[in-house]
Structure 1
Amino acid sequence: MERYSNRRGNSPITHFQIEDERIIVWFKGGKSYSYSYRKAGRAHVEQMKILAKSGSGLSAYITQNVRFNYD
């Protein structure tokens, strides 16, 4: 698990964990969501991995693209 750097300073995301075919995202309050190739789609998961590593834009991406497509 890695700390989300939150470059904009307003993200509800605190941590993330990247795995081969999924990403797990932790939010303030400790709730976690797993987004897999199977449920969210490979392209979305790979984009989320990029955003997680960059520390910017992940929460907005989730809201706009994969909000309810978690495992």
Structure 2
Amino acid sequence: MEIYCDTHGDSGVSAFEVGTDFIIVRFTKGGTYLYNYFTTGSYHVNNMIRLARLGNGLNGYINLNAKYTYARKIA
């Protein structure tokens, strides 16, 4: 997994991994979740990938748009 940059130092995300149609997000307080095109939707997954690479806004985006639409909890 790639370390989440967290440009503002206040994120609940610690790491992420990107695939062709998914993103896996690890949260600082525990839990690693898979979000994919099928369950979460390509629009949200692509926005999450963009924010993950920017290192800003991913946790907030997930809380507002995709909090309960993960495909599965990995850990």
Shared fold, TM over 0.5: yes
Q: List gaps (5 residues or longer) in structure 2.
A: none
In the TM superposition, what whole-angstrom CA distance separates every residue of 1:1-35 from its partner, at most 9, and x where no partner exists? 10000011110100000001100000114410110
Q: How many residues align?
A: 71
Q: Which protein is richer in helix relative to its size?
A: 1
**Runs of 4 or more off by more than 6 Å in structure 1?**
none
Normalization by structure 2: what TM-score?
A: 0.91
The higher-RCO structure (CA 8 Å, 6+ apart) is: 2
Normalization by structure 1: what TM-score?
A: 0.96
Identity among equivalent positions (%) equals: 38
| RMSD of aligned alpha carbons | 0.8
Q: List gaps (5 residues or longer) in structure 1.
A: none
